[in-house]
Structure formats: C-alpha cells, structure tokens
Structure 1
Amino acid sequence: MHHTLSQLRERYLLLTLAGMQFSHILDFMIMMPLGPILMREFAIGTHEFGFLVASYSFSAALAGLLAATFVDRFERKRLLLIVFGLFGLATLACALAPSYTTLLVARGLAGAFGGVVGAMVQTLVGDLIPFERRATASGIISTSFSLATVAGVPVSLWLANQFQWRAPFLFIAASTVLFILIAQRFLPDVRHHLTLKKRTHPFAAMFEVLRDRNHLRALLFTLLI
C-alpha cells in the first residue's frame, strides 16, 4: 500500500530524505579528514583515532540489528524525526566534547542513531514510492553520498580551518534542525504497516531476507563496495 503523492510532493519528499541522508553520511565521512587535527588536539595516536572512526560504524551496525526488532511498531514519520533529532544531539555532543573519551562516546551515539536514520530513509522510499519509480527514487537518495563527498567534506574542512575542529559538527547539527523542520512539512504519516499481522519472532523479517538469494546477492554486492 502506497500513499498517492503528487509529482511535486514526491520530489520534495525525496529531496528531504536525501538531505537527511546527507547529514548522517557527512557526519561519518568528516572524521578521516579531521584526523590530524583531532590527534593534535587530544594528544592521541593513530590507534586511539582508529577507535573514533570505528565506533561510528560498529554502533551503526549494532543499532541497525536492534532497530529491526521494533521499528515496525511505530509510525514511521514520528520515529524518523525522533531518531534524527537524537542523531543531531549526538553530533552536537561531538562538537562540545571536552575530552577524547567524551568524543568517543558521542561518536558511538551518533553512529547508532545515524545508522537507524539511514535504514529508515530507505524504508520510507519503499513505503511511499510506487515500485515502477522506486529505482529512480533510490538513485536520488544516493546522490547524498556524492554530494557529501564533493561538497560536504570540503566545506566542513574549510569551516575547521577557518574556525576550529568543532565547527563541522556544529554545521551538521544545525542541518539536522533544518531538515527536521522540512520533514515535518513534507513527510506524510506512514501507518499502514501497523495494521499488518505481527511476526512472532523479532528477527523473523531478517531471516526472510536472508533466505532470499537475490537479497543475499544484493547484500554481498553492497558489502564488496
């Protein structure tokens, strides 16, 4: 079941989701370029800096697995806005971190919430976009990765050089506020999944995916990328 959206409303929806995806991808990508600055600021080596980078990825993966057990129990728009808001707060905590340990914890939280945001963006594409336009919609969402690479990272590094290393995280946190306001306007409520028959096992949907060979090929392809 899909909402019937006008062409203009669908375009605004996809741009909004792409913007939210942009924020969390940039939050992940900015760490490596900031490496020399952070190592000097906190007097840490490459080993400790590696934990800062890895904490985001591991938290995102773990949160994604846990989220699979409960996300279908809530209305999608409200849950996305809450999780995205928590992601923004975690990113703000990164900007305000007074020590390496605080930054490490904040990065882990940002990764956890950001990972769920990324998954929910793709879920909403499946919920709201008809099958015949879903590939195009996914392509539009995927441009957020390229935009984060060619524009987000250079702008963030410029901010870090002009001000200090905290500035890029403040920029990302501010962008979450903007996209929450936009999403509140353009994202429709998604409730139809709440009326579907509930699975008895929390990981039942995941097991169904893993039993499908086409899904396994797609997951393997994504892993190799």
Structure 2
Amino acid sequence: MSEQKTGAFTGYEKFIIALLAILQFTVVLDFMVLSPLGYILLDKLSISTSQFGLVVSAYAFSAGAAGLLTAGFADKFDRKKLLLFFYTGFVIGTFLCGIAPTYHFPLFARIFTGLFGGVIGSIGFAIITDLFPIQVRGRVMGFVQMAFASSQVLGIPIGLYLAKEFSWHAPFLMIVGVSIIVGILIVAYMKPINAHLKFQSQGNAFQHLGRTISKPQYLQGFAATTMLATGGFMLMPFGTAYGVNNLGIQEAQLPTLYMVTGLCMLAFSPLIGKLSDKVGKYQVFLWGSVIACVMTLIYCNLSVTPLWIIIILNILLFVGITARMISASALMSAVPEPHDRGAFMGINSSVQQISGGIASLIAGYIVSETATGYLENYPLLGNVVVVAIIITGFLMYRIHKYVTHKTAQVIEPKAVI
C-alpha cells in the first residue's frame, strides 16, 4: 500500500484484512475450543487435570518447535505460498483431532496440528507488517484480533452445541469445513507477497536464524512475549471447568456466556485498535494490563455467583486481555527490520507457544480437582497471572522506547499492493 498514514483502506486491503481475520478465526477456534470442551474430556476420556493440561500444551510445544525450525526460511519464500503450505497441514491435523478415538490419539493429533497451525499466526503478522505502515497497524490488528471475539460469538457456542448433540469430535470437523473454504479464497484471490525478497541478506537459513536470535533488540521482544504468553495461557485451559464446578454455571448457560462476551469484544476490538493508533500503543497496553490485573484477582476469588455478574466480570476481563493483545501485537510488529520480519515473527510465535505450553503445564499442577469436580488453588493461579502481567508491563516499556526511537528516525520501505 502507499505511505499514507490515515484514510480509508482500498478494496484489496479490506479483503486481505478480512481474509486474515477469518483465517485467524479458524486457527484460534481450533485452539480455544479445547478449553470449553475440558469438562467433557475430563469425563469422557477419564483423564486428570494434569493430563488435560498436557493435551493443551502439546499443541503449544510443537508449535513452538515448528516456529524455530521454520524461522530461518520464513523470509526466503513468497508469504502466500508459505501460508498455504502450513494452512494445509493445519487442516489435516484438525481433521485428525476430529476422528481421534482415545486420549493418546488426540495428544498426537494436537502435536501434528501445532507443527503447522502454530506458524500461521506469525506468517499473518508478517504479511500485515509488509503491507501496512505502523501508523495504521493498530486498526488492522484490531480487526484481525476480532477473530478471538468471533470464535466466542460463533465458534465456541456452535462447537459446544455440536459436542453436546453429537460428540466432542464434531467441533473440529466443523473447523475443517470452514478452513477448506478459506484455503480456496487464499489460492484464488490473494496476490503474491514477495516484496521482502528484495531485502534478502546473504547466508543460509540457519545463519539467518542465528543472526536474528542474537540481536539484542530482538531478544528483549522475545522476553516480553514470554511473559505475555505466561499470563494469558494460565487461565485459559481450566476456565470452563472453573465456571461450571466453582462458580455454579450450568452447562446450558456456557454458550450464553461465551456469546455475550464475544459480541462485546466484536464491538470493542476495532475501537481498541483505533485507540492504540490515536493515543499510543503502550498507553493502551498499560491500561489493559491494569484492567486485566484487577479483574483476574476478582474473578479467581469468586464462589458460586449469578450468571449476570459472571458475564459482566468476564467482559471486563476480556477487555483488558484484548487491549493487551492488540496493542502488544502492533507494537511488536515494528521491532524487526524488513529482511528479518518472517524470522522474527516465527521465533516470536515459537517463544509465545512454548511459554504458553509451560504455563499450561504449570497451571495444571497448581490447580487440582476434587472428587466432586471442584477446582482448588484457583486464587493462587490468579496471583501468579497478575505477577506475570506486571513484569510484562516493564518489559513492554523497553519495547515501546525502542520502537519510538526507531520510528522517529527511520521510514520503513513498504510493499505496494
């Protein structure tokens, strides 16, 4: 696109934003739908909380490994071709989840899916960074991150309904169907994205990977991502089980909780993106962190609570989480140089997935389930999350200072679309 800082997006730019949002929707839903199914899997597969934490983290660990293995190659190919390759593998892995019969099979399927699905987000962010200047990336990230809200409004309620009416396999098969349509759209309408190839440095993929990992300014970005993922992944795996067994939410009420929260996030996400471009990405991140800390402490110390109160608290919690995600993604996208974007995003995604996987495992050991299904030590889990959020705030401040200094002196070369 042109070097415009404001103004409306072109028709093709809107298509790219929408396509990336829908693509992200399928990937996010594939990961997020596992948590609401937690109470079903604990019963149907007769597994413990630590075993379920392993199923969740298996995806994260394999995604992290895949990101590191592919990071050195990420800047050496047309991003469209790279996206299609990994999205195809993701669809195959999700299909395997949809036919998994026993505990060990879905564990393998999640590992396979992670090897491909975990790289897709980093490719998408690299595409956004290639095609859109920093001045409008908050808006773009705001729309793309609507995938998380959409997964709650449409995906998770439908997935829970299908799981209840048929089996826990059905939501994964639904994702496969939607993903095939998305893949066809990518093949048919997305243009090649290869302008970054003009900035290629000498050396092989492993040398490129080594140079990317060794840069101090990149390392501080990876450190911030580590703590960002730690806070986010700890609450996610057992959120539904906590709601049902500790807060007294009825199984039939779960779709309502997710749908109302998601609808609110569909409205808030674009507003948060615009706000981050207008008032500052770090400022929005900071306020989001404050909201997330307060709501985490309240939410994790609740007992049996009326549904309407839980919905309000859940919405406020997700406002904080979404503000952190959108602003951090936009801010982090300005860290790498053009010839390092694919590698940086790949490594950053790996760091996020591996950190999230470790966080899920730790959460599985902090939280324990009684004979009645009640989850113990959830307040302790909330305290750990708050500490991680506070540490992340200090790390993101360093990223903010670096990006501010960089963008004040350098105008990035942009691809023309």
User: TM-score, normalised to structure 1's length?
Assistant: 0.88
Structure 2 unaligned regions, length at least 5: 233-417
Could you tell me which amino acid in structure 1 is paired with residue 33 of structure 2? I
Cross-structure match for 1:196: 199
Counterpart of 1:35 (choices 28, 38, 49) is 38
Structure 1 pair 212/108, CA: closer, same or farther in 2 (3 Å)?
closer
Separation in 1 of the partners of 2:52 and 2:222? 33
Could you tell me which amino acid in structure 2 is paired with residue 47 of structure 1? S
Where do 1:52-201 residues align within 5 Å? 52-200=55-203, 201=207
Report if the CA contact (8 A) 1:9-1:186 is conserved: no
Q: Deviations over 1:43-72 (max 9, x none)?
A: 322232221111011122222222211111
Pairwise CA distance, 1:216:
5.9
* SS of residue in 2 equivalent to 1:22: helix
Residue 211 of structure 1 pairs with residue 214 of structure 2: no
RMSD: 2.5
* SS of residue in 2 equivalent to 1:211: helix
Pairwise CA distance, 1:179:
0.6
Separation in 1 of the partners of 2:51 and 2:129? 39
- Higher RCO (CA < 8 A, seq sep 6+): 1
Structure 1 unaligned regions, length at least 5: none
Q: Deviations over 1:146-165 (max 9, x none)?
A: 22123321111011112111
Could you tell me which amino acid in structure 1 is paired with residue 28 of structure 2? I
Pairwise CA distance, 1:177:
0.3
Residue 222 of structure 1 pairs with residue 228 of structure 2: yes
Residue 26 of structure 1 pairs with residue 29 of structure 2: yes
Report if the CA contact (8 A) 1:160-1:167 is conserved: yes
Pairwise CA distance, 1:212:
5.1
Which region of structure 1 is more displaced relative to structure 2, 183-192 or 117-126?
Answer: 183-192
Separation in 2 of the partners of 1:158 and 1:188? 37
Number of equivalent positions: 224
Question: Equivalent pairs: percent with the same residue?
Answer: 33
Separation in 1 of the partners of 2:45 and 2:200? 51
Structure 1 pair 196/33, CA: closer, same or farther in 2 (3 Å)?
same
Separation in 2 of the partners of 1:211 and 1:25? 28
Structure 1 pair 100/221, CA: closer, same or farther in 2 (3 Å)?
closer
Give every structure 1 segment of 4 or more consecutive aligned residues whose post-TM-superposition deviation is greater than 3 Å.
1-4, 212-225
Pairwise CA distance, 1:221:
6.8
Could you tell me which amino acid in structure 2 is paired with residue 211 of structure 1? Q
Is the radius of gyration larger for structure 1 or structure 2? 2
Report if the CA contact (8 A) 2:76-2:200 is conserved: no
* SS of residue in 1 equivalent to 2:145: helix
Separation in 2 of the partners of 1:148 and 1:99? 26
Pairwise CA distance, 1:133:
2.3
Report if the CA contact (8 A) 2:63-2:119 is conserved: yes
